[in-house]
Amino acid sequence: MPELPEVETIVRDLRPDVVGSTLGRATVHRPNVLRNISKARLVRDLRGCRAVEFSRRAKNIVMRFASGDRLIIQLRMTGSLKVAHGRLNRDDRAYLVFQVQLGAGRTFLFKDVRRLGTVQLMDPESWQEFESRIGPEPLAAEFNSVVFAKRFESTRMAIKKALMDQSKLAGVGNIYANEALFLAGIDPARPANSLSRTEYQALCRTTRKVLRDGISSRGTTLKDYRTGKGTKGSFQTRLKVYGRGGEPCTKCGATLVTTHEIDSRATTACWRCQT
């Protein structure tokens, strides 16, 4: 799915249209996206809700209402959001899984080709429970390498898999994990508890850097991802390893290698620079 930078970009793009609006009619085109609620109940409960905040937590999109309840959207692999002004066109309706009126002729759209994405409505208590299971936000002001290292030091899990574990750290997915490990010069297969303090400092720094740079580039568009404005991101032009298996390492010239040995996900690394 969109990872932290992509979700952050979408949320920033759509926030002005969402915050302050009162929800009207909702339509669930693909009931499979719903998790903890029936279609009828969601449609009934959303009507009249006033959105007071539109934000991101890990890769979750959070629309908070004046009531304290929250609509939580996960885009997973191919989900995308848009606010349409006026009538929906053919493209708006393609792969549409959920929509809700925002008022003033605007419609909030959730499209998803693979339909792996999810929609949930949470009361404050369920949100608290859900949110508490997510690791810290790597771009938060109070985040640092000590907090970072503490999340991983007790597991022998491969550092790359640990980095993508949302209960340990929020928002990092496959692309940015590959990039951060390359920049830090760390072998993705190393057990997390084998990294030194210095290596954790480096990895903390590079993880934050790739995420910030990803946001600056408005995300990575390999195929499906679009910003909240429907445009493509540009971080794909700055990727050092992800998707570049067989090409030369930008640091040393050695051939980058792609494997699927860690958690069956594509891992690309320079086995000379990353030790």
Least distance in Å: CB of 234 to DNA? 12
Identity of the residue, 39 or 47, whose beta carbon is nearer to DNA in the bound complex = 39
Question: Which among 3, 8, 179, 199 is annotated as catalytic?
Answer: 3
Nearer to DNA, 83 or 116 (CB): 116
Is 22 or 234 the residue whose CB approaches DNA more closely?
A: 234
Does 59 qualify as catalytic in the annotation? yes
Cα 83–Cα 232–Cα 268 angle in degrees, nearest 5: 130
Q: For residues 137 and 62, give the distance between their C-alpha atoms in angstroms, rounded to a whole number.
A: 15
Measured from the CB atom, the residue of 31 and 105 that comes closer to DNA is 31
Burial of residue 249, with CB atoms counted within 10 A of its CB: 0-12 exposed, 13-18 middle, 19 or more buried: buried
> Has 247 been annotated as catalytic?
no
- Give the integer Cα–Cα distance in Å for 83 and 23: 13
Residue pair 89/70 in contact by the 8 Å Cβ criterion: no
CA dist., res. 125 & res. 204, Å (int): 32
Active-site residue identified among 56, 57, 59, 190: 59
Distance of CA 272 to the CA centre of its chain: 30
265 is catalytic: yes
Rounded least distance, CB 116 to DNA, Å: 4
Interface contacts to DNA, rule CB under 7 A: 1-3, 6, 32, 58-59, 74, 76-78, 113-116, 154-157, 161, 164, 166, 173-175, 219-225, 260, 263-266
Smallest separation, CB 216 to DNA (Å): 16
d(CA 47, CA 222): 36
Task: Dig out the tokens for 230 from the structure.
Answer: 């429907």
- The 8-class DSSP code of residue 86 comes to S
The residue among 22 and 259 lying less far from DNA, judged by its C-beta, is 259
Alpha carbon dihedral 136, 230, 221, 215, in 10-degree steps, equals -40
Question: Rounded to the nearest whole angstrom, what is the least distance from the CB of residue 101 to DNA in the complex?
Answer: 25
Task: Give the active site residue among 2, 136, 138, 188.
Answer: 2
Give yes or no: 2 in active site: yes
Compute the residue count for the chain. Answer: 275
The values of phi and psi at residue 84, to 5°, are -90, 140
Least Cβ distance, residue 3 to DNA (angstroms): 5
Kind plus residue range of the DSSP H or E element containing 10:
helix 4-18
**Residue of 12, 251, 265, 272 marked catalytic:** 265
Report, as residue numbers or ranges, the catalytic residues: 2-3, 59, 265
